[in-house]
Structure 1
């Protein structure tokens, strides 16, 4: 393991070394009895200095720091522990040492210090480590907000065993440790407006449509049943007309379109975190009701699709990927115009049953959303108050 190392010397020790050198030189000009004691004293001082230099140079040769768990996942407001292991495989111990860990302020270390200037939180742990010893420390923390906390600084401060100064050893290793904090789920009013809309492939308990590829049995003929649905073999066997019964199906796919910009299109929406919490709630609702969904956010991406996105899917794994994307969403980064995102969805995405716009929308953007609506999708708007069929600022836009 590689460390960037520097020392903070005490001025007393170099002074003693200088005095010892002078004594050793002067001993040759005085009597033997006095010279013997002076030489021994000078040699002792020089020996301590040499051992001090050796300790400083080699104390980290076999020293290692590890974080056993690569990724830790939490919801906002959870409690957890960060494990860090320090091992000395060499013969040089550490006494009265101090471990310093700095992470993003997505988490808050219990008993730590918040550095607002760097958006960081730091923790200090005193410890002793003998030679060939391995110790594991658990640092308690709480998750303060949505995001990903990474380790930016790990350092060990230790006094020099044979000197009067301190040694600072900063790890140059890029640790893969991450604490991923999912947004909390904030309930959405009027979510019951999202009902099945038209024929498709999503199975449902109650629907106006049948999937003719999924027969589930037969039932007695009822007035109004289509002639082509009569099961003739079952009718002959039962002695009365039988009708084929099919799996109910409906297309209830959702598409979330998130605009993180404010009403002027320059900054970030002031309540974007609250809107992301409501989006997480709707994704959880979709997962529990087996509704497939996709997500687009106007934050730039280096992928083939130039926006942060999640392709259509359903189930628990898809939901976990959704939370991961929301957690990793950096708002103070490169963004794209929302019009570009809408144009991309219009040209490259199949029309979903429901389009759910999240955030502010300008008149030009609303026109693009209406064009998507004319292709067969139902358009809804999600704001701090819940889900709505019309955008609250739409009346003001048109005067």
Structure 2
């Protein structure tokens, strides 16, 4: 059964009292042969049975459509959630109140009160007999994260007494609201457009794939000797040079450090949200440019890879996957030491591409990055009071933060 009926103590006491009175009237009616007492006892027992039957039926006949649905939106966007009920009984549920909880990052006209990170929602709701009503819940997303409906209950007056029926929904509701991070613009983003040798085909590039010949052309004095195609030269009786496939690498690796040296919780939260918003903007920039990119974030997660990582990809589908992954990072995550994650990032990496460091750099981080000269261009996102900017990483600069934790331990977002 999806719903569980919960009654208050007074309701149970009243039922016990009526049952005791009916038994007493039955005994007195039999002893004194008072038929009016017996008739009144029959009516009272019938009323008790009717109440008991209603209590058992009321929860079984009410269904809630629990289809899996996901609502995706950005902060400050408005949307509506639809909750479909099905009343299989001819009994109506009149003047009821539908109650549930969601994270405080959701705003709605039906928001009642907020306690910590959760908010209570309540709206008037009535159901006719044998009907399929739909509850429309308009809401506005406030900030990044994932929101789900929990502690759903439906409270309405009892049909045969002055009490109230409290139906509590027990299954997990398969409705999820994913709020993507805000896209905060980053100055200097064109620095990402670096020309590096790679495997992506292009029309014009200073690099060529010498393993792929796409044709020949007339030999020029500036051509090196090894470019001469002797077979083509013999056929045309003129020297011919090979034309190789022009290639370039436009892949990016974003490496995000959520750990911060801020001691105040509020400052640390704002710092983390800024980093994730700038990261989302850079992912969008890479999408518009058609670049391939992968993402490393040192938010701890279970599994063989202890941090958040998406494989390299491009296109809108990959972009939406990265946004959802960022949205699912907890607002107070445990973090992997940044130097430890950088070490894993560098292991087995042979392809040269553009690396962008987002977040504070530690002393260990600088030591690891100093060995990355052969990987490609390394850039850093620097934060300012009024924004952020992409700049070349100063490899010899002193670290701005120090991790004092053991490399094998989880660390809090705050020191």
Give the TM bin, normalised by the shorter chain.
0.7 to 0.9
Give 1:188 shift: 0.8
Deviations for 1:101-149, whole angstroms, at most 9, x for unmatched residues?
A: 3222332223322423242342323212313x21111110111111111
Matches within 5 A, 1:102-251: 102-131=101-130, 133-212=131-210, 224-226=222-224, 246-251=244-249
Cα separation, 2, equivalents of 1:337 and 1:266: 20
Cα separation, 2, equivalents of 1:137 and 1:69: 16
Residue 392 to residue 76, structure 1, CA distance change in 2 (3 Å): farther
Give 1:286 shift: 1.0
Cα separation, 2, equivalents of 1:68 and 1:30: 61
Cα pair 2:145 2:328 within 8 Å, conserved: yes
Cα pair 1:234 1:242 within 8 Å, conserved: yes
Residue 12 to residue 275, structure 1, CA distance change in 2 (3 Å): same
Unmatched 5+ stretches in structure 2:
402-415
Matches within 5 A, 1:1-399: 1-8=1-8, 9=10, 25-27=27-29, 35-36=35-36, 39-131=38-130, 133-212=131-210, 224-226=222-224, 246-263=244-261, 268=268, 270-372=270-372, 374-384=373-383, 385-390=388-393, 394=397
Cα pair 2:4 2:59 within 8 Å, conserved: no
Residue 184 to residue 270, structure 1, CA distance change in 2 (3 Å): closer
Residue 62 to residue 185, structure 1, CA distance change in 2 (3 Å): same
State the TM-score, normalized to the length of structure 1. Answer: 0.85
Give 1:202 shift: 2.0
Give the alignment's Cα RMSD to 1 decimal. Answer: 3.3
Cα pair 2:63 2:86 within 8 Å, conserved: yes
Give 1:345 shift: 1.2
Counterpart for residue 405 of structure 2: none
Cα separation, 2, equivalents of 1:281 and 1:275: 10
Q: Number of aligned pairs?
A: 393
Residue 212 to residue 310, structure 1, CA distance change in 2 (3 Å): same
Cα pair 2:97 2:123 within 8 Å, conserved: yes
Cα separation, 2, equivalents of 1:205 and 1:177: 47
Deviations for 1:326-377, whole angstroms, at most 9, x for unmatched residues?
A: 01111423321112101111224345422111111122222222222x2332
Cα pair 1:225 1:243 within 8 Å, conserved: yes
Residue 370 to residue 110, structure 1, CA distance change in 2 (3 Å): farther
Give 1:244 shift: 5.6
Q: Secondary structure at the match of 1:164?
A: coil
Cα pair 1:252 1:292 within 8 Å, conserved: yes
Give 1:204 shift: 3.8
Q: Secondary structure at the match of 1:271?
A: helix
Cα pair 2:103 2:148 within 8 Å, conserved: yes
Cα pair 1:263 1:269 within 8 Å, conserved: no
Q: Secondary structure at the match of 1:189?
A: coil
Q: Secondary structure at the match of 2:60?
A: coil
State the TM-score, normalized to the length of structure 2. Answer: 0.82
Give 1:163 shift: 1.4
Cα separation, 2, equivalents of 1:313 and 1:366: 27
Cα pair 1:108 1:121 within 8 Å, conserved: no
Unmatched 5+ stretches in structure 1:
none
